Chains A and B, each alone.
Chain A
Amino acid sequence: MSLILVGMNHKTAPLEIRERLSITCEDGSDPLAEVLRTPGVEEALFLSTCNRVEILARAGSREAAEGLYGFVFRYGNLERQEMDRCLYTHYDREAVRHLFRVTSSLDSLVMGEPQILGQVKDAYRLSVERKATGAVLNKLLHHAFRTAKRIRTETGIAANAVSVSFAAVELAKKIFGSLRGKTILLIGAGEMSELAARHLIGQGAPRILVVNRTHARAVSMAEEFRGEAVPFDELARALQEADIVISSTGAAGWVVTAPMVASALRRRKNRLLFLIDIAVPRDIDPAAGDIDNVYLYNIDHLQEVVDENVRGRLAEARKAEDIVAEELDRYEGWFHTLEVVPTIVSLREKMDGIVQGEMERVSSWLEGLSDADRERVQILASSIVNKILHDPITGLKEESQENGAAAYAEALRRLFRLDGEK
């Protein structure tokens, strides 16, 4: 019995190859059924996201991997050579490790992003609905989810923003705490400023003001955000009302000068003001950042915060890898016991059968005994069997948890002829 994991991710395969595989898969076909049809495969999970394609299977032997390659080959329309470069294959312990790492987002493009856990859960749900999973994959996937959860709570791998717009939100929270009831002022338009604004709205900031040199654009953008368009010459008033300002105009000079900010601050009774300048060239006079209660961040500052956070995540990743290794050992212990369980069961069955047979053989002699004596003989026979079996069974379980006991199980099956008379 083997676990096989065949896959490709953003590190091993370029986008065009990944998308070829995932597009074909969405094309009304049924990849999971196809995987299950592969000879030797007994349980399967098929995961496809924009960054990876992974096939996890439990099969009678490792040879089934060839069949899985064939599947990828047909679906991806790939040359064999190309495929060898892009695909990785992991067996047993390494397959489990890979699954744990993927689920915990250690293998993601942006490490620590939580989406992948949901995607694995979806893939698992699909497998369960299709009855494609059994005892081994069920246990394995639940263990993977538990590991991911443990890593999220015990390490800081998912803490702190790793995108510029989220870094802006995080800073806003460091300044204001809750963003409820805060007013956001957008100066100029731009993809990144809209993204940041959306994140801020998502955190509960209810009021949006939009200023643009072209008032018509301000009006249309205000409609989009259900905000208010403010004429450009009333920028000073808008500064007085806003708590968070995001500026991204294409202007050459300062759009917001330090004296403007200073006078706005006086009029707003020194309420804190967070200025985010994501324009290049810059819109906001850097001197504005020196004023008390004003916090000015430009695009480079935000990028520094992001870089710092990424470094922090990398440090946390080392802790996460330790947790993966620990959980891997735990799972392997269970998996190996599982390996010897059928052998133990059939060994017992065989012995019980022998006792039963022998008792029947001497039944005429037994009839001469009293009920109590007959019972004593029965008990004697069973306890002899139990005593004989005790050491090998415990030994087998122990071996299986420490070193893997496939060879012992195999020997037992052969010596006791547990797989039927050959």
Chain B
Amino acid sequence: MDILVFKAALAAYLFSALGYIASLLVKRVHVARIATWLLAAAFVIHAGALVLRFMAIGRAPVVGLHDMHSLIAWIMTGVYLAFQFKTKTRVLGVFVAPVAFLVMVTASAGLGGTVTASPKLEHSLVTIHVILSLAGEALFVLAALAGLMYLIQDKRIKEKKISRFSRFLPPLTDLDRINELCLLWGFPLLTLGVLTGSIWARVVWGSAWQWDAKMIWTLLAWVIFALLLHQRLAIGWRGRKAALYSVAALLVLLLTFVMEKSFFTTVHRFL
């Protein structure tokens, strides 16, 4: 049953992604509006799938490739939807919906497989830790996406090339505000995620810190974004510079993430 609902959510993500891309091509707002509703539908169906999954395996579905990726897509979508209702900027969906769909595709690779998780992980603190960290990281991804669009738009206006594509992009100030909001919300969430994780680690392993690749990676993310946020708020970095650094920060993180996945073993790999 949970598999069926999961597949329905996957289809909804696909249609939403196609809708957003179509809205970019035909330049019609109502197409983007339909795509947004499809994405909201995908989010709700997906939530149902997660609940069913929870009931099927008897614990929070936060461990293992399938559950993790599924959760990443769900949280990313949720964060984007919340954002979209707040800022009324649909164009980010053109990036978010296809990415969510692709993550869902990778998640469906492990579909139906049962993961025998270590009993250490059956703790509500773990669930909170995973959800908070993922939400924080999802917001950083959004900050970087807004930054990327800012850079494109900035370049176009600077070079006096106001093409059709740049007309579709939102105004610079709006993109800058999205970037700022994402950092402002993402930072405390990630901080709380890291804290809950280390509390739990202390309980289980007796030490809050392990020289673990994923921990180093996350700490690095935390430091980079703390720096960015500080520069933004105290020094008055905004506009191009802030956008550039958010994109660069995300690239650094993705790189370390890939490195970690390929070359290191980690206590975060529980299989």
Contacts and interface: CB of A to CB of B under 8 A. Distances in A.
Instruction: Decide whether A and B are members of one complex.
Output: yes
Interface in B130-154: 153
Nearest to B156: A174
Contacts of B239: 270, 272, 292-293
A34 B173 CA distance: 58
B172 A272 contact: yes
Contacts of B113: none
A175 interface: yes
A305 B157 contact: no
A269 B232 CA distance: 10
Nearest to A302: B160
Nearest to A271: B238
Contacts of B160: 297, 301, 304-305
Interface in B156-205: 157-158, 160, 162, 164, 166-167, 170-174, 176
Contacts, number: 52
B123 interface: no
Contact of B172 (A175, A297, A308, A312): A175
Interface residues of B, number: 20
Contacts of A271: 238
A73 interface: no
A174 B158 contact: no
A292 B244 CA distance: 11
B241 interface: yes
A358 to B, nearest CB: 62
A289 B158 contact: yes
A176 interface: yes
A177 interface: yes
Contacts of A301: 160
Assign chain A's interface to a size class.
20 to 34
B166 A174 contact: yes
Contacts of A171: 157, 162
B173 A177 contact: yes
26 contacts: A160-B167, A174-B153, A174-B162, A174-B167, A175-B171, A175-B172, A176-B171, A176-B173, A177-B170, A177-B174, A269-B236, A270-B237, A270-B239, A270-B241, A271-B238, A272-B173, A272-B176, A289-B158, A293-B238, A293-B239, A293-B241, A295-B157, A297-B160, A304-B160, A305-B160, A308-B162
> Ordered nearest first, which 8 A-B pairs have the shortest CB separation?
A269-B236, A177-B171, A293-B239, A292-B240, A177-B174, A301-B160, A177-B173, A176-B173
Given A175-B171, A175-B172, 10 more contacts: A160-B167, A173-B171, A174-B172, A176-B171, A289-B158, A292-B240, A295-B157, A297-B160, A304-B160, A305-B162
